[in-house]
Amino acid sequence: MNEDCDSPLPPPAAARSDSTAGSDVQCAAPPRAAPAGDGEELIEATGLTKRFGERLILDGVSLRVRSGETVALIGPSGGGKSTLLRCLNGLHGWEQGSVRVGPYRLESTGNVRPNGQAAQQVRRLLGMVFQDFQLFPHLTVLANICEAPRRVLGLSRQEAEERAWTLLDRVGMKERATAYPDVLSGGQKQRVAIARALAMQPRGLLCDEITSALDPELKHEVLEVVQDLRRDGMALVVVTHEMGFARRAADRVVVLADGRLIEDGPPQQVFEQPASPRTRQFLSRVLA
Ligand SMILES: Nc1ncnc2c1ncn2[C@@H]1O[C@H](COP(=O)(O)OP(=O)(O)OP(=O)(O)O)[C@@H](O)[C@H]1O
Ligand SMILES: [Mg+2]
């Protein structure tokens, strides 16, 4: 199927004629006519089951995230956190279950990466930031941020640069606009990576251990930028090993272990009165 959904957003230029071959994602009728606004559910994953080969990685995971909500996704290494994030924005396929982001619904029947227009719209609505920044090394900071808005959204150079300067100001990187990534510190690179994701004006941001490669002071500056995004009403899903951040900054903490979502609640409840013995075991190790 892979047709554009009844969308409130214009289709991106990049979505116009990309092959849908290999795509196993379907765009079903949007469950609500209006785009998700403040406090409305932006992300809804239902019963996601995913395997890599014979191994069951996600075992019926359901997760809902509202606009304006910060969800910390924590859990033991190998538990499926990164895999879940990649399913949420259609970078991985899955065997069972579905993902809805705003009005776009993705269904997948296997491991093929979703590639239809609905998947492209989902990736626009949900930005992603990675542990290793993934900046383009041959482009300046400014050009890194302008690249996707120009290429995918069709912005003029001037429009893209105006947007980029505003975002660089926001993440405190205006002075380094002409620098190349290799001369930046890790924290600076990560702030540029966040600005680059925001340049697509997503409604949500998926952050996968974005401070893991940074020393404590730089972690702090990046996490401050993330916290600041809450005032935009964005939906944030933050995979983190920073328990202090999860406790302090998240509205909800979700624990994923062995492919199952075993805990979902306010930070105080999850950290002080976890329902699952597995959560208790995990927390006792990471907080020791
Ligand atoms: N592309 C892949 N092919 C095969 N197996 C994979 C692939 N990506 C992840 N896995 C496996 O899926 C499981 C979950 O991995 P995932 O990266 O989602 O865990 P995680 O919770 O993010 O762990 P960490 O905290 O260490 O980052 C692991 O056993 C991993 O080896
Ligand atoms: Mg991971």
CB of 121 shorter than 6 A to ligand 1: no
> Where does the pLDDT of residue 181 fall: very low under 50, low under 70, confident under 90, or very high at 90 and above?
very high
Question: Residue 221: what pLDDT?
Answer: 87
Predicted confidence (pLDDT) per residue in 81-134, tens digit:
999 999 999 999 999 999 999 999 998 878 777 878 889 899 999 999 999 899
Question: Residue 11: what pLDDT?
Answer: 31
Buried b (16+ CB within 10 A) or exposed e, 227-250: bebeeebbbbbbbbebbebbbebb
Question: Residue 3: what pLDDT?
Answer: 30
Q: Which residue's CA is the nearest one to ligand 1's atom 28?
A: 78
Which domains does the chain carry? 13-286 (3.40.50.300)
Atom nearest to 79 CA in ligand 1: 21
Question: Residue 184: what pLDDT?
Answer: 96
Whole-angstrom Cα distance, residue 122 to residue 61? Answer: 19
* 126-130, strands of its sheet edge to edge: 126-130, 204-208, 235-239, 70-74, 252-257, 260-265
> Where does the pLDDT of residue 218 fall: very low under 50, low under 70, confident under 90, or very high at 90 and above?
confident
End-to-end CA distance of the chain: 51
Mean pLDDT (whole number) for 21-38: 36
Predicted confidence (pLDDT) per residue in 226-284, tens digit:
888 888 889 999 999 999 999 999 999 999 999 999 999 999 999 999 999 999 999 99
Q: What is the mean pLDDT of the chain?
A: 86
Question: Residue 38: what pLDDT?
Answer: 55
Whole-angstrom Cα distance, residue 92 to residue 112? Answer: 7
Question: Residue 8: what pLDDT?
Answer: 35
Mean pLDDT (whole number) for 184-198: 95
Query: 175: CA distance to ligand 2 center in Å?
Result: 32
In 3D, which of 262, 191, 254 has the Cα closest to residue 228? 191
Question: Residue 185: what pLDDT?
Answer: 93
Question: Residue 209: what pLDDT?
Answer: 93
At position 20, the amino acid (one-letter code) is T
> Where does the pLDDT of residue 173 fall: very low under 50, low under 70, confident under 90, or very high at 90 and above?
very high
CB of 149 shorter than 6 A to ligand 1: no
Query: 82: CA distance to ligand 2 center in Å?
Result: 4
